[in-house]
Amino acid sequence: MGDTTAALVWGIPVRISDLLCSVDAFHKAIPTIQTLRLCNQFGQGEDARITKLPKELIGFIEEELLAIHRQEEESRNVGWAQTYRCFEGSCRASRHSFEMDPSIVDAALEELYEEHPEWLHMDEETVHPKEFDELLEAKLDEKRDEYYEDVSYDLCFDNICAWPSDVKKHVASKGNEVVRKHFGLDIFVKQETLDETAADYLMSHDKAFAKSYREFHQATICYLVIPSKAARWKARLDPILLDSGEIFGESTNSMLLDRNSLDPTEEHQQRFARAMRQLALKPSVHPSQLQTALSAAPPINASSPLTQTTVHRIIEKKSDEEVKKRDAAMTKRIRDLEQSQWPKLMFLVNHIFHE
């Protein structure tokens, strides 16, 4: 049995950790921002100099205040940014807050000097290059990864287990309240288990994932959307045991679309623009979300006709050249999507299966 939720929405994909940090920062800054605006608009008396400041300057002060709060949220040791890195598999032991063991510094320096004998001159004077601090920091991270790997694994495991429920509760209790009240939008969040293609792509294109010690990758997919009415239904499957030994079940549903919702209004566009600006967000397309766009009237010779498949498709192992071409195409599609015009009309579907 399973529960399915689907909605036709106008939305923008954003990185979940960036959104949560920004929403919490915005929530903290709201009292100060409201006081600042009231004083600027209604302040009285000779000492109320703030009333003489132009609105543009007030806006700049608000942006600086929000930036300070965002930086605080992003740098928290057990904040959203760190916890999500653990959940998605891009975490490193060096990213966790551990007291530095002096032996790590000694080992890092010794290794650096062995790798760069040119730093030691004939007169035994050591001359460091301009990028020495960066090289040392990278080496320290590398040594910390080795030194604290076992301890950090336990911390990561706790974060991985807690992340889905923590995000769901936070979005329901604070996130949606702030975003709906101040920007007229909703937050759509779902957890995704990555398929082999998306996981391999991340491993080969992001150094953080390449250094991960986990084989099982997950992601939290997040969209800012115009509030809409979702459709929900239960799928009851009576599984059939096939000759191949596989268990097969099928469920079908259909729904009508409201044609009046297919064009966003100017006011809708302004909601997104204001939210993206004040929350300092950018469109962020996850490689697991690159399905082909739907079209009600595609060309007659279009591929992937509306057919039903009753057996698993055999996925053949691709050659290195084919993988390279596929990854290049994914990179281009992600870049093109992120740089294109948003919001876009999308069909969001969330499946939850249980027995």
In the chain, what is the greatest distance between 2 CA atoms, to the nearest angstrom? 88
**Beta-strand pair 247-248/344-353:** unpaired
Q: Is 146 exposed, middle or buried (0-12, 13-18, 19+ CB in 10 A)?
A: exposed
- Among the listed residues 24, 38, 37, the one whose alpha carbon sits nearest the alpha carbon of residue 66: 24
What pLDDT sits at residue 299?
Answer: 64
**Cis upstream peptide for 343 (omega within 30°):** yes
Angle between helices 55-74 and 16-42 (to 10 degrees): 150
Question: How many Cα atoms within 13 Å fall on the side-chain side of residue 84?
Answer: 19
β-bridge mates for residue 350, sequence order: 5
Residue for token pair 């290195």:
320
What pLDDT sits at residue 310?
Answer: 47
232: DSSP letter? E
What are the residue ranges in the chain where pLDDT is below 50?
Answer: 309-314
What distances in angstroms separate CA 15 from CA 18, 146, 223, 289, 315, one per listed residue?
5, 29, 8, 13, 30
CB 4 within 8 A of CB 348: no
What pLDDT sits at residue 40?
Answer: 76
Task: Report the Cα 39 to chain-centroid distance in Å.
Answer: 37
80: which 2 tokens? Answer: 């959203």
Question: How many Cα atoms within 13 Å fall on the side-chain side of residue 346?
Answer: 20
**Beta-strand pair 344-353/2-15:** antiparallel
What pLDDT sits at residue 305?
Answer: 53
Rounded to two decimals, what is the model's pTM? 0.79
